[in-house]
Amino acid sequence: MAEYLKRGKPETERAEDDAKTRAVVESTLADIEARGDAAVRELAEKFDKYTPESFRLTQDDIDALIAELTPRELDDIKFAQEQVRNFAQAQRDSMLDIEVEPLPGVILGHKNIPVQSVGCYVPGGKFPMVASAHMSVATASVAGVPRIVACTPPWQGKPNPAVIAAMHLGGAHEIYVLGGIQAVGAMAIGTETIDPVHMLVGPGNAFVAEAKRQLFGRVGIDLFAGPTETMVIADDTVDAEMCATDLLGQAEHGYNSPAVLVTNSRKLAEETLVEIDRLLKILPTADTASVSWRDYGEVILCADHDEMLAVANDIASEHVQVITDRDDWYLDNMTCYGALFLGPRTNVSNGDKVIGTNHTLPTKKAGRYTGGLWVGKFLKTHSYQKITTDEAATLIGEYGSRLCMLEGFVGHAEQCNVRVRRYGGVNVPYGEGAPYRDAAE
């Protein structure tokens, strides 16, 4: 049985935190729906101390902000965005429209149609999340979404040039400097100045994630992407420095970012705990990372790789870094996670910023039933059918008629019967199932 050398907050305390968040979000969304722009402006003033004449940036605003970046910074943004676009395009190319003729005269098919409007939330209150713009905006652009709205909070009292550049280069049609519940609420519900979208995507803090959850149904969402989670699966082929660095690298995201080490090496587990303490004394973001590690960090010692696999699948962490003597075995056998980072040469930050896979990933065990954001999330697969011959209309209609009557749906059966009568010349009594005919008839 797995042994916990360090545990985070108990589930009861985490549930209490979630309940408080739910209540705040519910009342805030109701206020936005009731008062529109006035509520949004008050929330922006309260939380961001930012209330410009218009939250939407003009093209001149965007150009001026991009001009603040150095050529090197702009080239780095373009390089990362190119990687994300290339992988998204490869994914899009794998999604084909189809049309088949399973029976003579019966045509079935499906089309992949872009969602018609998407609201992309790009976090930026604590850290300006430039990469999140690539992951949502650029990927929606590859999918062919005709209206892409992007929202990000101000950073240090004004729009962050790098985030705005990434949104613009990614293909956003409307950019608003607006954060938190007020941003996702305005995009989903709509206000006097912001038309509502059909779908919300992007990561965020606990309040943003909860707002998306409560708005789901009214609009589509990509997934529940709340506070960052990370897991390191490691054996004695790796050292404590790398494990501790990879854990704290994600714990700095926020005060409630779970970071978990799963290992079969007691030596590595104990040395990693010591190394984390050492790094927290020199890490500039230790104020955040130390609280996250204290409250949500865990070290789990397992008997063997089979138990490590079982523990990892049960936790279903957002990011799973695998550094073992059998990385591909985990690739073949893990079933519940957001994304895998295999081997010592890669790391979660690569996926966060530049390598090309999407970093908007399922949290809070959502990896049990969904993967992360990808180009397919912006596409709806719609089926269609048509019948091109009288013979096919009669054959399908006869079967359909009898099957509808089997379920007691007389009106349904008559939809089939009227076609059997017209196209097959069969006089089916009203409200009865079509007679069975031998295939030779």
Distance CA 380, CA 383 (A): 10
* Pairing of β 379-387 and β 106-114: antiparallel
Chain mean position to CA 183: 17
Q: Which residue has the tokens 């050398």?
A: 5
Instruction: Write out the two tokens for 273.
Output: 């705990």
Q: Is 205 annotated as a binding-site member?
A: yes
As annotated, the active-site residues are 318-319
Q: Is 359 annotated as a binding-site member?
A: no
Q: Is 91 annotated as a binding-site member?
A: no
Instruction: Write out the two tokens for 264.
Output: 């079969």
Q: Is 134 annotated as a binding-site member?
A: no
HEC string of 153-186? Answer: CCECCECCHHHHHHHHHHCCCEEEECCHHHHHHH
- Residues β-bridged to residue 320: 231, 340
Q: Is 319 annotated as a binding-site member?
A: yes
In terms of DSSP H, where are the helices of 49-179?
59-66, 71-93, 130-133, 139-143, 161-170
Distance CA 244, CA 240 (A): 6
Residues with Cβ within 8 Å of residue 227, at least 6 apart in sequence:
205, 206, 209, 253, 254, 256, 257, 258, 363
Residues with Cβ within 8 Å of residue 248, at least 6 apart in sequence:
259, 276, 279, 280, 283, 289, 293
Q: Is 121 annotated as a binding-site member?
A: yes
CA distance readout (Å), 323 to 300, 302, 318, 355: 15, 15, 16, 18
Annotated binding-site members: 121, 182, 205, 228, 250, 253, 319, 352, 407, 412
Annotated binding-site members for Zn(2+): 250, 253, 352, 412
